[in-house]
Amino acid sequence: MQTSTAFDRQLTKLDAVRLLKLIGSGAAPKLADILDEAEVVPGPAIPRDVVTMNAKFIVRDLATGHQQVRVLCYPEDADPAQGRISVLSPAGVAMLGLPAGATAHWHGPAGAACGARIEEVLFQPEAAGDFVT
C-alpha cells in the first residue's frame, strides 16, 4: 500500500516515459498505479520541491524520528548502503512524485507498516536545469 497525505503526485514527462518502460517489463505493478494517478508535467514545470528521479532528499522516519538523505534512482543504480533507493522498492515508489512536506506510507519486506516524511529536496535534476538525465 502506497499512500500520501494531502498531496498530489507530480512526475515529469521524461520520468513518466522511462518509468512506463519498467512497467512494461512486468517488474513494477505498484508503479503502474502511481503513473495512472500522477499529474505529468514538462520538466521545466515541475516544482523544485518534488521528488523526481535522481532527486536527493531528506526523509524523517515516522517511527524513530531519524533523518536520512536518500536519492531516488533506477533499479540498476540502487545502492541502499549509499542511500540510493530504487524506484521499484516499496519506499521508492511511495516517495515518487511527492513534494517536501508530504508523508509516504508503504509496507516493508516483512509486511510491517512504514512511513517517512519528506523534509526537504536537496537536489532535483530539473531544478538544476537538467531535463535529460
Tell me, yes or no, whether 128 lies in a domain.
no
Distance from C-alpha of 129 to C-alpha of 116, rounded to nearest angstrom: 28
CA angle 97, 103, 109 (to 5 degrees): 90
- pTM greater than the 0.85 cutoff: yes
Tell me, yes or no, whether 54 lies in a domain.
yes
Tell me, yes or no, whether 131 lies in a domain.
no
Check: CB of residue 1 under 8 Å from CB of residue 107.
yes
Residue with cell 522511462: 18
Pairing of strands 10-12, 39-41: parallel
The more confidently predicted of residues 133 and 77 is 77
Q: Give the model's confidence band at 29: pLDDT under 50 very low, under 70 low, under 90 confident, else very high.
A: confident
38-54 residue pLDDT tens: 999 999 999 999 999 99
Tell me, yes or no, whether 67 lies in a domain.
yes
Tell me, yes or no, whether 43 lies in a domain.
yes
* Count of domains observed in the chain: 1
- At residue 71, the pLDDT reads 99
75-132 residue pLDDT tens: 999 999 999 999 999 999 999 999 999 999 999 888 899 999 999 999 999 998 888 7
Tell me, yes or no, whether 130 lies in a domain.
no
- The parent domain of residue 58 ranges over 3-123
* C-alpha cell of residue 47: 516544482
Output the domain CATH number for residue 98.
Answer: 3.10.50.30
Q: Where are the alpha helices (DSSP H) in 1-133?
A: 13-24, 29-37, 90-95
Tell me, yes or no, whether 7 lies in a domain.
yes
SS3 86: strand
pLDDT at 22 over 90: no
Tell me, yes or no, whether 44 lies in a domain.
yes
- At residue 4, the pLDDT reads 47
